[in-house]
Amino acid sequence: MKNKIYISIITILAVLLQPSCKDLNIDPLNVIQDKDVFATEAGVKGYLATIYRALPIEDFYYRQEGSGFNRQWEHFYHPGALCGELVGPYGSTYDGAGGFGYWPYGDIRTVNYFIGNLPVYGTGFSKEQVDAWLGEAYFCRAYFYFALAKRYGGIPIIRKVQHYPEQSLEELQVHRDKEVDVWNFISDDLDSAYNKMPAASERGRANRYVAAALKSRAMVYAGSIAKYGSENFVAGAARDQGYVGIPAAAAAGFFQRAWDAAKLLEGHYSLYRKKTDKELNYADLFLDKESTENILVRDYSLTTGTAHSWDATMTCRFMTADGLSRAYPTLELVERFTGLLPVVNADGTPRRFDNTSQLAQGLEPRLLATIYFPGATLRGKQFDMQRGIYEHFAGTAADELGQNPPNRQFRHLAGKTETLFNGMRIIGFTGISTDGDDLSRTGFYIRKYVDYNRAQSQCGLYMSTQSWIDMRYAEVLLNRAEAAFELNNIVDARNMINDIRDRAGAPLLTGTFTIDTVRNERCKELAFEKQYWWDLRRWRIADRLLDNTKYHAMMPYYIADEQKYIFLREFEPFQRSYNFEKKYYYEPIPGGELGKNPNLYPNNPNH
């Protein structure tokens, strides 16, 4: 018996000392290693996808402050609304002038790591293949540095992955490089990219001409900073040491490089001219994925959660299924195309219209494809624009506009579309309300990039999938025209401008030709493409253009007793004034970075 008991005990002890059945060494399943990344085509592609995604492409999502490149739906925080293309939710230029502390050295490290490790692990690939990928990496690196240089001027150039603690802290606390050196570094990287990459690439990726296009953009920036930044600047230690500012003498060289780079694209891309109707052609240019003008695009889709909200936020809720609009083209931008609109008779009285759509008659097709005018049609609905009702209107427009609002006794305004005057709706369904800003404040809406083919029910937040055209051939022609003009090659500049104007449906230029002609064409052609903010800065004219500046609206009113419409050129209802301080030609180096590295001092002047 006892034996059995002891056997039992031993058995139980054996169970107690039961070996563990599970191994403690368990790796997470979603982590992969270098060799799997750099030695396989799929791995390299995935790595490059991460880099491309981080590229500082100022697409639909971009805003000049706050969240910067981080994705949010509020596309009406548009940089154009800081500087007079649009009036929007920004209170003044200062809302965006200080930037958002962009400092993409993490992404630059990712690129540098790729440049360093692809040749090590990627021995199984052909040299052409490795070169093509390296070329893309150089292109991307140049793009990051371009985004830094246009904000801060000279910043540290990091060419290789840095290691701590292998490298001492002293060594890692790098100094700023001179602004001119940064622009030259960008130029060199783009040359490397051009030389390594083939002539063609998948949609969305760089090839040698994409690198050349970026070079034409970057060099025209550098040239104008050298030329105009030497005339209009804020003095300070950073400038004295060359961290900001480029010697004027370097301007011509940069402009020449811009011109040369732009010239390389000739014959490889062309302006979009698919449709004979010039207005429709220009509108479709931004929607047709097969456009011959596209150089570098960024795509979006619903299922990947990348779709944007341009349709839902550029026109009011009347035309969409969700969201709201808050940024509206200024009358000043319209007048770049048209001069003063013919809304006042010779005797100073407002011209009478039978309906509001008459205002747009005979205007340049490109303008009408860029901006929705009163009476235009979108998704089966008309832009119903009306500021208010006059019981009757006598006298001149100027007299009426000189009155303070309480004294305009025959005028009726309203905050809501429900409000009627003698059975007539006081305001239009698309504006202009006294309450809030989710209906037009200026009488206009953005048309560029708006997908008019999209059903209204599909115009919700994060539902738009039209591609962002980061670089298109028209911009390269404008870069070339600007560089040509700065290099006194007026003929080439005029040819480029006229090519664009022909496509736009605008009369060709023949007479006098100034730098303002080139710039004005650029502003019109690239309106709302997030170029204007940077153009005003690199031309160093922002402080003059934004000097307690208020923008205007074209206000349609119904005159009840005449049953006619008039338009008054009034301030936009919020009457916001915009200013630009010269110090903002350079953004301040982010404060946190200065704290971590004292060698980044001196900060940019007056910051």
Partner 1 sequence: MKRPTFDACVHVMKNTGGKSLLLQLLFIGALILSGVEKGAAQKRDDAGQALPKTITGQVVDSANGNVLEGVTIGVAGTQSGAISDREGRFTVKVPDGKPISLYVRLVGYRELRIPYSGSGNVVVRLPATTAGLNQVIVTGYGTQRKATVTGAVSVIRASELVVTKNENVINMMTGKLPGLRVVQKSSEPGAYDNVFDIRGMGNPLVVIDGVPRSSGDLSRMDPNEIESISILKDAAAAVYGVRAANGVILVTSKKGTRSLTGKFDITYAVNQSWQQFLNVPQGVDALQYMMLKNEKQKRDFGNNFYNQMPPSFSDADMELYRNGTLKSSDWVGATMKEFAPEIQHTLSVNGGNDKANYFFNLGYFNQDGLFRSGDMNYDRWNFRSNINAKITDRMRAQLLLSGYTDTKNQPGGRGIWEMFKYTWNQLPTDQIYANNNPQYPHLMPDNANPVIMTNAGYVGSQAFKNKNFQGQLALEYDIPAIEGLMARGMYNYGFNIVDNTLVKKSYSLFEYDRQNDKYIGTLVNAPSTVNRTYGNNTSTLYQLSLNYTRKFAGRHNVTGLVLYEESHATADNFYAQREFSLGLPYLFAGDAGNQLGSMDGNGLWETVNKGIVGKVNYDFKGKYLLDFSFRYDGSSKFKPGAQWGFFPAISGGWRLTEEPFFQRFVSPNILSNLKLRASYGRTGDDGATGFQYISGYNYPSPGYFFGGNYVNGMASRGVVNPDLTWYTAKTLNMGIDFDLLKGMIGGSVDYFIRNRDGLLATRTTTLPGTVGTNLPQENLNSDRTRGIEIVLTHRNTIRDFSYNISANVASTRTMLRVVQQTKAGNSYENWKNSQQNRYTNIWWGKQYGGQFSSYDQIYHYNVNTGGGNQNVVPGDYYYQDWNNDGVIDGKDESPIAVRDLPLINFGMTLGAAWKGVDFNMLLQGATDFYVQYAEQMAEPLMYGRSALTQFLDRWHTADPNADVFDPNTQWVPGKYPAMGSPVAEGTKAVQDASYLRIKSLEIGYTIPKKLLSHMGISNLRAYVNSYNLATFTGLKNSDPEHPGTVANGADWNYSQGGYKYPMNRTFSVGASVTF
- Which one of 153, 443, 573, 588 is in contact with partner 1 (CB under 8 A)? 573
52 within 8 A of 204, measured Cβ to Cβ: yes
Site for partner 1 contains 21 (CB under 8 A):
yes
Q: Which residues lie closer than 8 Å to 554 by C-beta, 6 or more apart?
A: 331, 334, 341, 343, 359, 374, 442, 443, 444, 567, 568, 569
| CA 592 to each of CA 176, 334, 597: distance values in angstroms, whole numbers, following the listed order | 15, 41, 9
Q: How many CB atoms are located within 10 Å of the residue 402 CB?
A: 9
Residues in 299-328 that interact with partner 1 by CB under 8 A: 299-304, 306, 317-318, 320-324
Residue number, 394 or 401, with CB nearest to partner 1 = 401
Residues in 199-228 that interact with partner 1 by CB under 8 A: 202-205
Residue number, 201 or 256, with CB nearest to partner 1 = 201
Please give the structure tokens belonging to residue 462: 């994060």
- Which one of 25, 126, 276, 510 is in contact with partner 1 (CB under 8 A)? 25
CA separation for the pair 314, 182 (Å, rounded): 37
- Which one of 438, 499, 502, 581 is in contact with partner 1 (CB under 8 A)? 438
Please give the structure tokens belonging to residue 322: 């969700």
Minimum Å distance from CB 194 to partner 1? 20
Closest CA to 562 of 420, 412, 393: 393
Minimum Å distance from CB 55 to partner 1? 9
Please give the structure tokens belonging to residue 326: 């808050």
2: left (phi over 0), alpha (psi -120 to 50) or beta: alpha
Residue number, 275 or 425, with CB nearest to partner 1 = 425
Site for partner 1 contains 574 (CB under 8 A):
yes
Residue number, 254 or 586, with CB nearest to partner 1 = 586
Chain center to CA of 248: 28
Residues in 115-174 that interact with partner 1 by CB under 8 A: 156, 158, 161-162, 164, 169, 172-174
Strands 577-579 and 420-421: unpaired
Minimum Å distance from CB 110 to partner 1? 7
Backbone CA torsion sign across 357, 461, 58, 202: negative
Residue number, 103 or 452, with CB nearest to partner 1 = 103
Span interacting with partner 1, options 266-274, 415-423, 446-454, 521-529, rule CB under 8 A: 415-423
Minimum Å distance from CB 535 to partner 1? 27
Residues in 578-597 that interact with partner 1 by CB under 8 A: 590-593, 595-597
Please give the structure tokens belonging to residue 310: 């341009």
Site for partner 1 contains 414 (CB under 8 A):
yes
- Which one of 457, 488, 514, 563 is in contact with partner 1 (CB under 8 A)? 457
- Residue that is written with structure tokens 């001069």 in the block: 339
| SS3 assignment, position 578 | strand
500 within 8 A of 474, measured Cβ to Cβ: yes
Size of the site for partner 1 (CB under 8 A): 116
Minimum Å distance from CB 411 to partner 1? 9
Residue number, 413 or 446, with CB nearest to partner 1 = 413
Chain center to CA of 86: 13
Site for partner 1 contains 452 (CB under 8 A):
no
- The DSSP bridge partners found for residue 296 are 471
Q: Which residues lie closer than 8 Å to 122 by C-beta, 6 or more apart?
A: 38, 39, 44, 130, 133
Q: Which amino acid is at 102?
A: Y
> CA-based Rg of the chain, rounded to a whole angstrom?
29
- Which one of 391, 436, 562, 601 is in contact with partner 1 (CB under 8 A)? 436
Site for partner 1 contains 392 (CB under 8 A):
no
Minimum Å distance from CB 79 to partner 1? 21
Residues in 82-101 that interact with partner 1 by CB under 8 A: 91
Minimum Å distance from CB 225 to partner 1? 22
Residues in 42-71 that interact with partner 1 by CB under 8 A: 43, 45-50, 52-53
Minimum Å distance from CB 153 to partner 1? 15
CA separation for the pair 403, 409 (Å, rounded): 10
Site string for partner 1, 416-435 (x = CB under 8 A): xxxxxx-xxxx--x----xx
Closest CA to 514 of 542, 539, 482: 482
- The DSSP bridge partners found for residue 248 are none
- Which one of 26, 276, 347, 511 is in contact with partner 1 (CB under 8 A)? 26
Residues in 324-363 that interact with partner 1 by CB under 8 A: 324
Minimum Å distance from CB 583 to partner 1? 20
CA separation for the pair 74, 290 (Å, rounded): 28
Site for partner 1 contains 19 (CB under 8 A):
yes
Please give the structure tokens belonging to residue 25: 């060494």
Residue number, 108 or 190, with CB nearest to partner 1 = 108
User: For the chain, first and last CA: distance in Å?
Assistant: 94
Does a cis peptide bond (omega within 30 degrees of 0) precede residue 374? Answer: no
Span interacting with partner 1, options 75-83, 361-369, 404-412, 479-487, rule CB under 8 A: 404-412
Establish how many alpha carbons lie within 13 A of residue 257's alpha carbon, considering only the half-sphere containing its beta carbon: 23
- Which one of 225, 413, 481, 554 is in contact with partner 1 (CB under 8 A)? 413
CA separation for the pair 10, 89 (Å, rounded): 80
Span interacting with partner 1, options 32-40, 220-228, 245-253, 529-537, rule CB under 8 A: 32-40
Minimum Å distance from CB 243 to partner 1? 14
Span interacting with partner 1, options 37-45, 117-125, 255-263, 390-398, rule CB under 8 A: 37-45
Site for partner 1 contains 546 (CB under 8 A):
no
Helices (H), 61-207: 94-97, 105-121, 127-152, 169-172, 179-196
Residue number, 31 or 346, with CB nearest to partner 1 = 31
| SS3 assignment, position 570 | strand
Residue number, 513 or 574, with CB nearest to partner 1 = 574
- Which one of 110, 184, 187, 604 is in contact with partner 1 (CB under 8 A)? 110
